[in-house]
Amino acid sequence: MTDTAPADTESGATPDTEPPLPTAPENISVSLRGFDTEEHARTFGNLVATYVRALSRYIDMSALDGITIAFDYTQALLELDRGYDTDHKLTPSDGIAMGVAMTPAVIRDGKVKSHILFNAGVLLSLEDDKNEFFEQALHTLAHECAHVEVTERYNAAFPGVLLQSKSPNLHAHCRSEIIKACWDEYAVTQICAPFGQRPTDGYEETFITALEQTRPQANARIRAYRLHGNLEEVIAEVYGAYGELMKFACYHLGNLAGLGLTLEDVPKTIAALNGHWFAPFFDQLKQTCGDIAAQYGEWTDRSAFEALGDLADDIVEDGGMTISDHRDDGSFHVDIPFTPQTMPGAW
């Protein structure tokens, strides 16, 4: 493991303008794991920190805790000191999109900060700006830097919430996970859109794939519930499935907003949504995220965010599960009516 703190770097400002000042900590801690030599690790760590300092002129990196770049990425996630007691294990996302980077919140000296972790392989192209994957690596770096800003803006508006409050029940937990994932990815992809590779095609393909797969997957989870009877399991699975679809839609929508594009610029998306059950929810998601973004960092309450949770409830209800009648003791009523699509043996 190597820690390094590089010097500042200049941005591409014109001679007549002063570039914004860097917002990253003066000493950026970069930990390298699994590199072939100590010298390679040190050199690469300095390079990444230099790029981060340059990006921090345009992305607020004041709440950066540090950066870990690891060839044993999965193990690095497990070993991250998050600064508080938790049984939750950080693991790379899988499924439609494979996770290669993550920026979880941590607590340091009583303050919420963000620690960036990368699978080393996705960043190595930064060593050569002529490499065909250089722009992709730069965009990935900018994406995770933007997570630092977005987390800090939310934490500043609502202190004591992130990592320091507990959901009263499973339904509230599912809602909060979807709210955070949707808003974070919408805001982050909007902020990092100008840097490096334009990922529009990739986000569109991922969203369309999720659009095709989500309802059948959620129906399968309900069919399985008819046999195992574990209510908590099916609630988490169904909200998880529809939450993933909403998140992938937010990646797509945030990137479009960041690049100043509209749906007319992505005809494959229009075609995929035409007549699809998710189409009206997609429009509502776009409006809701846009409303939150319009008040960026100046929110006075969480009602705009809760609208994302309400939308998740509506989507889940459209898929055959209704949660209602919340009680003072934290319990709630769940209704999963029998339908041809959610009966065992149906496909």
231 with 321, same domain?
Answer: yes
Helix (H) or strand (E) holding 160: none
Domain of residue 110, CATH code: 3.30.2010
177 with 275, same domain?
Answer: yes
332 with 192, same domain?
Answer: yes
- Res 9 pLDDT > 60: no
Q: Is residue 126 part of a domain?
A: yes
Tokens read off for 261:
């594009």
pLDDT at 56: 98
114 with 187, same domain?
Answer: no
- Res 2 pLDDT > 50: no
Residue type, 238: V
Stretch 243-255: mean pLDDT, rounded?
A: 98
Q: Is the entire prediction scored with pTM above 0.75? A: yes
Tens digits of residue pLDDT in 215-240: 999 999 999 999 999 999 999 999 99
CB neighbours of 257 closer than 8 A, spacing ≥ 6? 186, 190, 193, 290, 293
Tens digits of residue pLDDT in 261-297: 999 999 999 999 999 999 999 999 999 999 999 999 9
241 with 137, same domain?
Answer: no
The domain of 56 spans 30-157
| DSSP β-ladder status, 30-33 and 64-70 | parallel
pLDDT band at 5 (very low <50, low <70, confident <90, very high): very low
pLDDT at 241: 98
User: Domain end: 93, 126, 157, which one?
Assistant: 157
217 with 290, same domain?
Answer: yes
275 with 315, same domain?
Answer: yes
